[in-house]
Amino acid sequence: MSTEPDLLRHTGHLLRRAQQLHQVVWTRDVSTEISSVQFGALVVLARRPDASQRELGRALDLDRSTIADLVKRMTRHGLIDCEQDEADRRRHVLRLTPHGRTVLKTLRPRVDAIEPALTGALSAAERAELRRLLQRLLAHAVDRGLLHGEAPAPA
């Protein structure tokens, strides 16, 4: 890795570089049109039909304005429908469209297939440990109020 040795001691720098790697691989191998955040939203909505905009934002740890923009973009591209809840007019109910389900089905194997590009240098045990440690780091951040999303399930 061609970076300053001092920077390699900083977790934030390493996480940023890992995110850069993820973005490059995502764009090359998964999609140039659907972002990994949009894919995450599709996954959440497939698991939770009729989730509210607020619930989706919490699951993805996105603030109100960011989730509103995401929902508008995904609605405009025909991936989701957004309707006002009849029982609570302040609540927006989100559902995958048939097109959204097709996109999710198409992207799932591509997302699974990028794992070797991201973690191919690690053994199976090291990959599991990396995921466990990242989940622990994120759960701790949620517990401390640094993130507002749902804490990852403990590994």
Does the structure show a pLDDT above 60 at 47?
yes
What pLDDT is recorded for position 3?
61
> Do the Cβ atoms of 154 and 62 come closer than 8 Å?
no
Q: Residue 149's pLDDT band (boundaries 50, 70, 90)?
A: low
pLDDT in tens, 87-145: 777 788 999 999 999 999 999 999 999 999 999 999 999 999 999 999 999 889 888 98
- 74 burial (CB, 10 Å; 0-12 / 13-18 / 19+) is buried
Q: Residue 154's pLDDT band (boundaries 50, 70, 90)?
A: low
pLDDT in tens, 51-83: 999 899 989 989 889 999 999 999 999 999 998
pTM of the model: 0.85
What is the full DSSP assignment across 127-151?
HHHHHHHHHHHHHHHHHTTS--SPP
What pLDDT is recorded for position 147?
81
What pLDDT is recorded for position 1?
53
What pLDDT is recorded for position 75?
97
What pLDDT is recorded for position 127?
95
